[in-house]
Amino acid sequence: MREPVVATVAVRELAAFVHRRGDLHYRYDRATTAVEGIGAQRRAQRGRPDSYRREVAGEATLERHGVALTVRGRIDGFDPEAGLIEEFKTTRSDVERLHAHLGHVHLAQLRLYAGLVDEERPSWRLRLTYLRPDGESSRQVEETVTREDAADYLARTVEAYASWLAGRFAHATRRDAVLRDLAFPFDDFRDHQRRMARGAFRAFRDAGQLLVEAPTGSGKTVSMLYSALRAMGAGGVDRTVFLTARGTGQRAAEEALARCGAESPQPGSARGHPSQEKSPQPGSARGHPSHENPVSAVTVTAKDRICFEPGTPCDPAHCGYARGYYDRMPPAREALLAQGLVARERVEAVAREHAVCPFELSLDTAAWTDVVICDYNYVFDPVVRLRRLVTHASGSAGLLVDEAHQLAARTSDMLSVSMERRACRNALEDAPAGLTKRIRSVDRALLKLRREEEDGPIAQPAPLLRALERLLVTAAEVDLAASPSARTFLGDCYRFVAGAGWFDETDYRYLLATEGREIAIRMTCLSPAAHIADVLDGFHGAVRFSGTLSPPALFQALHGLPDARSGRVDAGFPEDALGVFVVPDVSTYYRDRARTLDALVRVVRAVTEAAPGNYLVALPSFAYLDLLAPALAAVSPFRVVSQRPGMADDERAGFLAELSGRDAPCIGAVVMGGVFAESVDFAGGALRGVIVVGPGLPPPSTERDLVADRYGEDGFTVAYLQPAMAKVVQAAGRAVRGPDDRGVVVLVDPRFTESRCQAFFPGHWRPERVRAGALGDAVAAFWGDPEDAAPGGPSSTADGAVVP
């Protein structure tokens, strides 16, 4: 007889999974903390008889469907003599609305607790008590359940959950059988890819931390996902969370996962879009037929991008996809889990078929898939973090962090919160009457700050926080459907109050800025290192990787893991595939830009005319771009196109098409750190090179100076140099994207000759210092045969595939 699969579930989780029904709600009520909940509960329990016990553990194991499920929970209040089982819920929300929304789940918890109690009584009195944070009881609900009915309720609940788990365990068994023998998806498993995969596999097996620098085009995405899948098959991890910083990174992960065996890429998900890694040639990949679906995966798309009713509140009174969501979600979730790799298009299709919110459906599905592809914020943002991505009923999760050079900056932004008086005043324009008094109270608190404080660092603004908390309590009871400005402001308020919960005086500062009638206050994160390390520690192994992680010791410190393992792999293509030229005699300092504009134009012409083709010119700002582009267009024999702020998707696609064309050379002027300079692939090696104009150091600011102070002697490097050089190296990485590409990188500015800048150069770069007047000859010499430098080259097809 086969041994049952062993699993454990908490009562709260079990009740929600099996018994939740009804509508999807979203309210701006601040959750109570664990400390507040315990304090309120203790105050409510004063004066209870000696027979009354607090925090009583209950546990039972039932076997159903080949699953031995242990159900565990802690009963808030238990009096065996009085036959009382009590559950407390501490909330700032409107209690009537909360009970209408979740009361059935709360009562399900109590019934399950009654089923766990090992006491000889014919019946139990169940009491559900809602408390305010001050301990005041705002509502009580009671019912009586017989011992037999409680046992039956527990058994039926376990039956439903175990049936679900049995299906997931059966899937995992089939999955592991495939993944144990999974072959690398390309015929050529290059040495550097093998080293990457081996290191990542060990990190997952041993619950370790690893930082890997791997150049663009080295196959790092597919190597990392391959190792994660192999680790699943070997039992090292049960699931993998793949984090990306941009949507293009999500599409690259989808394609790599499909190559590794999930299924063929879906139309519109990976192929036909710029991806982080170069697509393999037809016939070079191995994988599993799509109908097998050995791996389940879902991509979580941002709520504002996937919403079917943009601008409509996530409230059943206004959105049909929220109304009855939990009644229709389970079959929709099953439909997605059966489909293997699920990108945005499939989520939308299934959500429409079942009339449910696509965003919430993707989250509920993500809790059960083998792989989750999502943005950083779903793991690192304390407000929106999805803990269900880490804790899983059947095992542990491994983490892959793509573009890890952005991790510290992105996490700092997530941990920083701000509020502006302008948004407060705008909220008054459409706020319901029941909310205006509270909003004006917040406005007065902001005005008081301006009167009493100087601009710059200030102490934590306790009066403002109290005013905001009162506003959020009131807002939980108000319909904001017709109040878009008020909804936006309340979102700011919620984050600002939440931020006070993780504030400390070492890694955070409050900053006040005023100008005329305007007031802005920001809690800025000076160092996210402790938070990053704490989050990473919650996974069973994590691998952070990027093409821009030099020097590794700096990034390890920024991530709070100075002693973690790190590694660097080779480019995987010949050294002569990339020419790196540093031009030291053209200054791009802000004060020199007008004076050196003509010299910069000559540099661009020297490069592009020595080897005609498509080029990127990456500049530190739109202002500099607007200075250079018209001057260059006036004299260059080639077409010059420029990035503009806020380009729509179709405009971006057109811009990429211009720079991927092979009919005539084109020069694209772009901004470093923007969408065209990071995480984007130009089809078939269409670019001949990238010209980076200056290191683009950010301008001095109070906030950056505070960061510099926080890091001491490394302060300038952390606050100013690293953010700038990361953008430089990322932009330069567009030049050579794969083993068949060749290209040049030209770095224009004397600062690129300094050791502190060159410390950030990738290990495979071999920089050559060349004065501007000799640059054209140096570029021509790199290309050698003039035909090699022609757009596309005489030996390439339109899609970049090499012709014998």
Dihedral angle computed from the Cα positions of residues 313, 318, 322 and 323, in that order, rounded to the nearest 10 degrees: 160
Query: Residues of the chain with pLDDT > 70: what percent?
Result: 91
* Intrachain domains 5-168 and 575-789 with the same fold: no
**Is 80 exceeded by the pLDDT of residue 758?**
yes
3-state secondary structure 421-474: HHHHHHHHHHCCHHHHHHHHHHHHHHHHHHHHCCCEEECCCHHHHHHHHHHHHH
For 494, the enclosing helix (H) or strand (E) is helix 484-500
Domain 575-789: CATH architecture, name and number where available: 3-Layer(aba) Sandwich (3.40)
Structure tokens at 358: 């696509």
Residue 48: exposure state from Cβ atoms within 10 A (0-12, 13-18, ≥19)? middle
Contact (Cβ atoms closer than 8 angstroms) between residue 224 and residue 264: no
Q: pLDDT tier at 791 (50, 70, 90 boundaries)?
A: very low
How far, in Å, are 146, 179, 186, 187, 229 from residue 182 at the CA level? 53, 5, 11, 13, 8
Segment 148-163 mean pLDDT: 97
- Confidence bin at 574 (pLDDT 50/70/90): confident
Per residue in 52-107, pLDDT (tens digit) is 999 999 999 999 999 999 999 999 999 999 999 999 998 877 788 888 889 999 99
User: Is 802 a residue whose pLDDT tops 60?
Assistant: no
CA 765 – CA 509 distance, rounded (Å): 39
Taking 60 as the threshold, does the pLDDT of residue 543 lie above it? yes
SS3 content of the chain, % helix, strand, coil (to 5): 45, 20, 35
634-661: average pLDDT: 92
Higher pLDDT, 654 or 391: 654
Non-local (6+) Cβ contacts of 516 within 8 A are none
Q: Is the peptide bond before 551 cis (omega within 30 degrees of 0)?
A: yes
pTM of the entire structure?
0.88
Q: Which SS3 state, helix, strand or coil, does residue 762 take?
A: coil
629 or 434: which leads in pLDDT:
629
Task: Enumerate residues 6+ apart whose C-beta is below 8 A from 546.
Answer: 213, 214, 402, 403, 404, 405, 406
- Provide mean pLDDT across the span 718-726: 96
* Identity at 596, one-letter amino acid code: T
Give the pLDDT of residue 487.
Answer: 92
In this model, does residue 249 exceed pLDDT 90? no
- Per domain, the residue ranges of the chain are 5-168, 261-298+307-370, 417-524, 575-789
d(CA 331, CA 164): 12
Could you tell me the pLDDT band of residue 290, with boundaries at 50, 70 and 90?
Answer: very low
- Is residue 269 within 8 A of residue 247, CB to CB? The reply is no
- What pLDDT is stored for residue 460 in this prediction? 97
Nearest to 473 by CA among 26, 89, 93: 93
CATH code: domain 5-168 is 3.90.320
Q: What is the pLDDT of residue 1?
A: 62
Q: Is the dihedral of CA 601, 604, 610, 612 positive or negative?
A: negative
Which helix (H) or strand (E) element contains residue 105?
Answer: helix 95-116
Q: Tell me the average pLDDT across 583-612.
A: 97
Q: Is 637 exposed, middle or buried (0-12, 13-18, 19+ CB in 10 A)?
A: exposed
Question: How confident is the prediction for the chain on average, in pLDDT?
Answer: 88
Q: Report the alpha-carbon angle 723-726-731, nearest 5.
A: 130
Count the Cβ atoms, other than its own, within 10 Å of residue 401: 26
Q: Are strands 84-90 and 371-375 parallel, antiparallel or unpaired?
A: unpaired
Local structure of 342: helix, strand or coil: strand
For residue 788, pLDDT over 50 is answered with: no
Average pLDDT, integer, range 708-731 = 96
| Average pLDDT estimate for 779-783 | 96
pLDDT score of 265 more than 70:
no
Q: What is the pLDDT of residue 269?
A: 40
DSSP states along 158-190: HHHHHHHHHHHHHHHHHHHHHHTTPPPSBS---
User: For residue 753, is it left (φ>0), alpha (ψ between -120 and 50) or beta?
Assistant: alpha
Residue of 800, 657, 733 whose CA lies nearest to 280:
800
Using DSSP, state whether 251 is helix, strand or coil.
helix
Integer-rounded Cα Rg, in Å, for the chain is 29
What's at 513, amino acid-wise? A
For residue 759 the two structure tokens come to 């410390």
Q: 716 and 675 in contact (C-beta within 8 Å)? A: no
Q: What is the mean pLDDT of residues 560-588?
A: 89
The residue among 254, 190, 219 whose CA lies nearest residue 547 is 219
The tens digit of pLDDT for each residue in 222-233 reads 999 999 999 999
Continuous segment of H or E residues that includes residue 529: helix 529-537
Look at the block and give the residue holding tokens 């057109």. 654
Concatenate the DSSP letters of all residues of 8-66 into one string: EEEHHHHHHHHH--S------PPPPPHHHHHHHHHHHTTT--TT-EEEEEEEEEEEETT
- Decide: 658 and 668 in contact? Cβ < 8 Å: yes
State the average pLDDT over residues 365-376.
95
Q: According to the model, what pLDDT value does residue 277 have? A: 41
Contact 567, 580 (CB under 8 A): no
Q: Which residues contact 4 (CB under 8 A, 6 or more apart)?
A: 63, 66, 67, 68
DSSP string, 108-131: HHHHHHHHH-----SEEEEEEEEE
Q: Which two tokens stand for residue 586?
A: 């053209």
Q: Where are the alpha helices (DSSP H) in 283-383?
A: 303-306, 325-337, 344-354, 358-366, 377-380
CA-to-CA distance for 427 and 558, rounded, in angstroms?
38
Distances, alpha carbon 741 to alpha carbons 338, 711, 736, 737, 758, in Å: 39, 40, 6, 6, 24
Cα 167 to its chain centre, rounded Å, is: 29
The residues with which 743 forms a beta bridge, in sequence order, are: 578
Q: Which two tokens stand for residue 313?
A: 């509140």
> What kind of fold does domain 417-524 have according to CATH?
Fumarase C; Chain B, domain 1 (1.10.275)
**Dist. CA 657–CA 246, nearest whole Å:** 20
Answer whether 126's CB lies under 8 Å from 114's CB: yes
CA dist 42 and 54 (Å) reads 9
Local confidence band at 268 (pLDDT 50, 70, 90 cut-offs) = very low
Looking at this protein, which amino acid is placed at residue 456? G
Tens of pLDDT, residues 433-491: 989 999 999 999 999 999 999 999 999 999 999 999 999 988 877 888 789 999 999 99
